[in-house]
Structure 1
Amino acid sequence: MKRSRFTESQIVSILKEADAGAKIKDLCRKHGISDATYYNWKAKYGGMSTSDLRRLKETEAELSQYKKMYAELAHENYALKDLIEKKPLRPLDKREAAQHLVAKHELSKTKACAAVQLSRSSWYRQPSQQAVRDQPVIDALNTMLKKYPRWGFWMCYDRMRLDGHAWNHKRVYRVYTAMKLNLPRRKKRRLPQRVQQPMVVEARANAEWSLDFMSDALYHGRRFRTLNVLDEGVREALDIVIDTSIPGARVVRTLDRLIEWRGKPDAIRVDNGPEYISQVFSEWCEKHGIKLNYIQPGKPNQNAYIERFNRTYRHEVLNAYVFESLRQVREITRAWIIEYNEERPHDSLGKIPPAMFRRQVENARNSTLELCH
């Protein structure tokens, strides 16, 4: 693998120049890199600090050790790796793959058949000429489609049954697809059925978090996004991530950092955005044992806590200032989060700040536990 001429620290400094307001094209021309290289760096190192880079290097060192552990493979595994290019699918293909293992890698017939999941009887059985056996079906399909070129499979099959052909529909469809007569239809991507989740949340920390994205622009027109994380049980703002793009991997990295500081939530409430329905995010939640509560599409009121928080954040920060750089947005937002959690009274919490409410809940819970003991 070609080694990059930039170190991780240099890459982070280049990304910080972009956050300060430098244009991407000017930045790429200055450092002699392409736009694709810049966005690959941003997806991998965006929002990282020196400590994050150190942790990334340690992880890469561990991965290199694991790679060395798997460097020595057994003779049968090496043979299977050489077989990957053949992609055995049908019994005929599996038979050819098994013959390849026996001839080139000198495996026994038993091991070769077991490796490609082929029965011993299929090894010794002589393959039949399928094209000759299916020739009547091919001729019938060609005759039908020559006369009715716009008919689909089921229309052709029903007509063939009326004409007296007794072929099974599975056999006809296999020949139909082998002749590449089936035209794929583009289907609209549909979300799974979402069940409405109740808005009842236990009044304690880490009972349920909610996430949502917002969008705004700097003074010179450059767009940026914010990822807002709220603890619904105590209405406390945990973090607001600000960047020009926040992919699913960045969301996972942010939640890992919050869990190290705050602890793991029991559940997370999100909408159906692409970052939340991505495989990276769903697998991360399953790995950590966190329940995912998706709201129904087009029903933002089912995520009312974070929507109310977004309104406050937009009214008091995004609409109140004219930002010149992402650094300025982050600094003002960081100060506002402290003010929101420590000083700003919250009506639903008895007109006290969220941090004070969380401490009261924790003290009451600790007192109850002491009485029980």
Structure 2
Amino acid sequence: MKQSRFTEERIIAILREHEAGSTTGDVCRKHGISSATFYKWKAKYGGLDVSEARRLKVLTDENAKLKKLLAEAMLDNAMLKDLNSKKLVTPVAKRQAVAYLCSSFEVSQRRACAVIGADRTSVRYRSVRPDDVVIRARLRELANIRRRFGYRRLLLLLRIDGVSINHKKLRRLYAEERLQVRRRGGRKKALGTRAPMTLPHGPNHRWSLDFVSDTLTDSRRFRMLAVVDDFTRECIALVADTSLSGTRVGRELDAVIARRGPPLTIVSDNGTEFTSMAILRWSQQTSIEWHYIAPGKPQQNAFVESFNGRLRDELLNETLFSSLNHAREVLAEWQDDYNTIRPHSAIGNLPPAAYAKLHASDMQRDGPHELIWGSAPRPVASPSHTGSNDQRILPVAG
């Protein structure tokens, strides 16, 4: 910035001449200034002496410096926020960040490096290494085929293909391509079947399981295990307790099987109780197929979900349970009413127990896992997404 030829002392002296009786025009002609400049000086320095004028100039300069520092700090903060708080660890990431800041905020490379704490020599460095495109492509191809292989086994496969490469270089390429094998966490869970699920052909052909929760009057929560026969729509078990583990689920299923025989298939969601080791052992010991619906697809377990809706609407929302024993008594009464008295629109407005008794004589078992149709009408479901023309096939679960 060009320095003015008029110092504070000279400006105050000029103003004193005007105060002594000289006209504004004479003062301006004598010192070679315009009237606008004179009145600007008068507004700024009028009534001040030399020391006060110097102090005012110092304060003005300091204020300008503070404004500049504040503006620069705000700009630095804006640049860091625009980087979205990404960890800039590798030199490549820092080079990309510096290039982005220089183009977006129109700052110098020196300023961008200072903001992110990067060394300018590292940012300006240009690698002379070969890019190894062929090796990288082959490494990605092998990693896609052998998903659980680490870089050591992939190195053996590359050497079989005739590629000569140092193991340390391969490890670097392996890390740059982000091919690290993810460690499998968690315990082993029951997997069940992911095959298309057929519609039930008769009683005990398929059961559906799900949990429902509610609250007692003292704010304690309890859960209910609902077991529904998908063909007859019977509620064959409605167990209430404060906690229902996988072992307890298997024990309750054993009690139901002792009363009415084993089912061919059991359907449930992917809750921790149903995917526990206890259920896995129970399914293997009983040789009962366990089908898991796709995660987030409760419509694939529509029979028990419909029952849960009726249970919630007709009983849970209408009743206050004072204790767990009270809840069990009321649930048992409602279960008996649901099975023996309440008409069900999906089975011709008959109670589930009457519908089961009606079709018990029409169904004949041919072996432990095959059911033959009698004269009863067959239920219809939408065709599966796998191209099957059998209308008794549900969409694929998972």
Normalising to structure 1: TM-score of the pair?
A: 0.48
Normalising to structure 2: TM-score of the pair?
A: 0.45
Considering only CA atoms, is the larger Rg found in Structure 1 or Structure 2? Answer: 2
Which has a greater percent of helix?
1
